[in-house]
Structure 1
């Protein structure tokens, strides 16, 4: 049966370099060999270099049980090792094949077990060496004052442990550009400390593998890849070598290492909070193999370091946070009068800039700007605030490169390269904005970052020039730290309270002025009412008196003159009634609000006695049903029913004797108002008069509103308005319901 390799020969070009399948190269490095078995222990794949390490040929192992390779006597222990592997990241398993001892590491990829074999090194560290290493780490951990000093100590320790020519701690920024943060090297090599490398040097898929596989060894960049073989008629699927130690290296990365003169590397991942914080990169300028135990010991140093990243970063930020908190406490302890002038006094406080290390600040209220420090002009500030409001998530927006979000902001770089925006309200466009000017930064790149990947006659290749390249970064401020953001948020809540107090104070002043104006208007109305009550009544009385005398004394008046005097007298009477109704309407507002228990049946009897002449004249019937007691003001409740009964006897049908029924529900009820859950006494006053169209059921309660001509139905249009005012004074309701020629029903609700 023929053999076939699974080498991935897909070409890498400018369109797919970010998706290069580096996890399935189909080949390995030659310092060990690989076999892959299925879940039954049958070998499905072998690396082509097995004969160089054992007495077996590839074709004799493929499709055979793993015990053919390791021997039946070691099978039980190997299976136990695989079981342990499911629970823990087990140490290498030592196996003898022929006369050679191998350390075997097994990784599971879906339904396949990848078994990697490397000859056992003569160097096997003592157990005490790990203890010594922990003691050393504890010592220089206590001596290092900063995270960078600690990283330098780790680099020095690993170089002493491994013997590499250069060991670097490589730290990523937010865009995954790298910086040599700490370095230990042999004297003859130039320093790389402080150099920056573009994110394209370590593409996305490579960073993902560094998270899955925390250690990567390249023994010799000039190696010849060893293909992985399988039987011709097998599935021939790719093998995922993500966690493999022997995995072959991307041709682009090999060329990259050759371009910088490096022959061997060891890379240890530094993970912090589940993300790739950085790498420990070990470089050697000739081929170098590192045994497994030394690699693990070096990796342990990386674990020690990552355990300290958050602690060190917090410690370094503590002093800054302490100063910020001091400024914040000073600012929050200040008191300001709740008026707009206080906003300017507030922004003039130096602590408002100190809490977030800003150069300028502006508070905006009703498009008026209160500012201090170095800021743009007011129109620009308003424009920036509006742009930030549109970008803000939950009312908060910050950036250290404003021109990247808003290209027009490039004109404001000198004062507003970075902004921190908090929305304080939406009604009055309240906001606070801190400003930072551009901070010109010089970045030393290892080569031009724009030429990180080159295209030549051979296709795609990494850059060859690593000469120091200086880049001046413009229109960027320093980034806003979390401590600054927290302090700004706390202060924003405080200033939001002050603005709320200012707005409430202003509203209170406006209400006081409106109240003053209303009181003045009411006083004028009362004066008018007094004039109506007293000053107008006397002239009217005289007009009525003189017209009556003329009619009674002079019997020789012409018919026209007599009719004119009668009309004048009728108009005076009508005006007298109008003045009386207006006076009653106005008097309701000043009525005493002390409620008394009222016997409705007795009250209706008194009303009937007062209206006895009208009732007898019109042959009317007034019937009371189930009337009991209510709480109210007797005088005006009397007037209420007098108006309603009088109204019913006014709007009667021709040839129909009026009938009025006043009825009270036996049990209290809820009002028709949906938001009112209180209980009320329900009383209805129903008649058999001419009624009205139901669309006018609200209009009839408005003062001076009439639905019929005054010639046929006399009145001033105040009676029902007075009824509604009486019910409002009792915190009750009145409703009217009717239909054309169907009579009217007035429903009263008195609170229980």
Structure 2
């Protein structure tokens, strides 16, 4: 019978092959940042590990279990947990797992085969991982720990800045744990680290302020720090203990991300040995779901701490994490207050809905104070408004075009512009920007100059990993390595970024209101143009049915009469009749020419040019010499200004106004025309338009009632009978169209039998003196 039992056991062991799951993959330069440190297949030797399935079969066990209890891993793998460790142990563990989750922060105190252990439990996929460490014997003095924590909270309330708080945590953590050195390690945006606060033995060299490259703590390590917030290495000279399991499937493994005993990457162990470190405790500092930093505790010999002390140290990390926002807000309070006052000032500006208001905004010093910038540019339409230290207009244009590749939702911030625009390498005046799109290719950009800084690295960051004939190794030199940083501005702080975003939103609304106002003005102008055009069409219709048809009827009547009585009419009568026909035809020709002139002015697209009106006056008087001689009229004129207009139209304008004065001269006196003008640009505001130059033509003619001052500029409008005063009524309408084409306006003042004053106004937009 005994022989049968022995043969059965022998057959079982031959069938059940046991293997270790140690990860023996070679780490190379190409895969070292992806080293699977969460599945090392081994643990540190200060405890043992057992992995059980859902039905409580032992599926994993470490080789060193025999060092703690009277069991051999080969004998228990595949067996029932109760049969190995007892039913009571199983029930205690199940009760612990199902208890209030808050209780899981403390390990379970339990006996295995008559020996006391402190058991940590977590679940890895479908395996319960049980990690047992020998009981520490005597409990830590809980009252003393409690007193220390109370004192820490009291001291914490007296700190105002984040740096002061971190220094206090470093001191408190070292007092609680007894490690030789405690550092608060803070990451930047690229996960390069800085020793932000430190407390250490007096005989040790300080690491405070030193920087370390992101490769010292690679991505997969940072990911584990997010999952497991407390990490111990008890003895840097430990020999990893392999984990064994039943070889029942390919690539079988055990994820130890949440493990207390997990073995560490050989490269990381060598790195710490190179620093002379004998044991470590690391606590994660997590802020807004991102690894903000670490509490890194170093001891220069082997060291383990009890679960109670581990928890107290972990609470120190929680204090920092919970206070980061508050302390950073306190640190940035003065900056936030300054930006808030600037934002309040800018949003309170009462500015007109006019493109020129952006020049006013840009010139306001509070726009720079808003985010502590040295320069700012606002691009609206085809205009660029600048203030302070800024790039050239061409560079601003290129930024606006290219930045769409980097901006998310129209927002982009950097303190190192050369990473995106290499052409700014040689421009120390512009190293950092805050960019906000204002829609429709409009934008506002704040600029900061280069701030040259010196960074002390704990060793050359370019040599974090070294390759030799024996493989990969971390650097073994931690001598201070100085780096001079250029092409980089000071970092934009959150209050500055937020204030810029807030005002960009206000500015965007201002542009929308301006666009709506311009559209409203455009539609209003179009409505007025349409109304005026309809009126013109009515007049043209009237002139075509009356003024043009009336001479045609005369021509037809005279020709018909001549044809019927050609043999009876004397030659003189024929001559007189043909003369009347010629006069009627001439009148029709004048009307048609005036209509063509009016149309030409209405649709001219000539660009405005700088014109000397003195030259225009000389040319006009030379052409009208005979008219002035015939009428005996006198003309006096002052020095006329330079304006922007269209040359042939200005000549036509002067000719029309002067001919009008000659046409309506009084028969009682000699015609006198005086031309006066503004000698320098002065603002004249009519409606919404501002004009800067005026010229007035004053005559002593027959004049008219002032109530007709507006109607005389309507096409084909005549205040006097044609039989007495010739003309088609187009001259002054042409003059008005000419001034509209040049962006100006025309006005008339008159009294009957006293004369008329016609004033033309030119706009400011094209005057260099006011641009």
The normalised TM-score by structure 2 is 0.67
Q: Cα distance, 1:9 vs. partner?
A: 1.0
Residue equivalent to 1:197: 212
Match of 2:193 among 178, 200, 203: 178
Match of 1:258 among 267, 273, 279: 273
Residue equivalent to 1:380: 395
Q: Cα distance, 1:304 vs. partner?
A: 2.1
3-state DSSP class of the match of 2:378? strand
3-state DSSP class of the match of 1:49? helix
CA contact (8 A) 1:444 1:471 kept: yes
In 2, Cα distance between equivalents of 1:442 and 1:332? 39
In 1, Cα distance between equivalents of 2:86 and 2:75? 14
Correspondences of 1:554-565 after superposition (within 5 Å): none
In 2, Cα distance between equivalents of 1:175 and 1:6? 34
Match of 1:423 among 400, 412, 437: 437
Q: Cα distance, 1:255 vs. partner?
A: 0.3
CA contact (8 A) 2:140 2:306 kept: no
Q: Cα distance, 1:129 vs. partner?
A: 4.3
3-state DSSP class of the match of 2:46? coil
Match of 1:136 among 147, 151, 157: 151
Unpaired segments ≥5 residues, structure 1:
558-571, 580-752
Query: 1:480 and 2:495 equivalent?
Result: no
Residue equivalent to 2:320: 305
In 2, Cα distance between equivalents of 1:5 and 1:16? 23
Q: Cα distance, 1:74 vs. partner?
A: 3.2
Distance change >3 Å, CA 107–CA 515, structure 1 → 2: closer
Distance change >3 Å, CA 418–CA 41, structure 1 → 2: same
In 1, Cα distance between equivalents of 2:222 and 2:23? 20
Distance change >3 Å, CA 506–CA 40, structure 1 → 2: closer
Residue equivalent to 1:101: 116
Q: Cα distance, 1:51 vs. partner?
A: 1.5
In 1, Cα distance between equivalents of 2:326 and 2:536? 76
3-state DSSP class of the match of 1:420? strand
CA contact (8 A) 2:339 2:499 kept: yes
In 2, Cα distance between equivalents of 1:286 and 1:210? 23
Residue equivalent to 1:565: none
Residue equivalent to 1:51: 66
Match of 1:465 among 460, 464, 477: 477
State the Cα deviation string for residues 515-535 of structure 1 (Å, max 9, x = none): 787777667656555544444
In 2, Cα distance between equivalents of 1:376 and 1:233? 68
Q: Cα distance, 1:99 vs. partner?
A: 4.2
CA contact (8 A) 1:220 1:263 kept: yes
3-state DSSP class of the match of 2:505? helix
Q: Cα distance, 1:151 vs. partner?
A: 1.1
Residue equivalent to 1:63: 78
Residue equivalent to 2:49: 34
3-state DSSP class of the match of 1:411? coil
Query: 1:453 and 2:469 equivalent?
Result: no
Residue equivalent to 1:675: none
3-state DSSP class of the match of 1:230? strand
State the Cα deviation string for residues 631-661 of structure 1 (Å, max 9, x = none): xxxxxxxxxxxxxxxxxxxxxxxxxxxxxxx
CA contact (8 A) 1:43 1:62 kept: yes
CA contact (8 A) 1:389 1:423 kept: no
RMSD: 3.0
State the Cα deviation string for residues 34-60 of structure 1 (Å, max 9, x = none): 111111112122211112111222223
In 1, Cα distance between equivalents of 2:53 and 2:550? 120
Distance change >3 Å, CA 541–CA 4, structure 1 → 2: closer
Equivalent residues, number: 558
3-state DSSP class of the match of 1:258? helix
3-state DSSP class of the match of 2:439? coil
CA contact (8 A) 1:230 1:236 kept: no
Distance change >3 Å, CA 551–CA 127, structure 1 → 2: same
In 1, Cα distance between equivalents of 2:526 and 2:324? 63
Query: 1:187 and 2:199 equivalent?
Result: no
In 1, Cα distance between equivalents of 2:309 and 2:548? 116
Further displaced range: 381-390 or 109-118: 381-390
Residue equivalent to 1:21: 36
Further displaced range: 181-190 or 306-315: 306-315
CA contact (8 A) 2:430 2:449 kept: yes
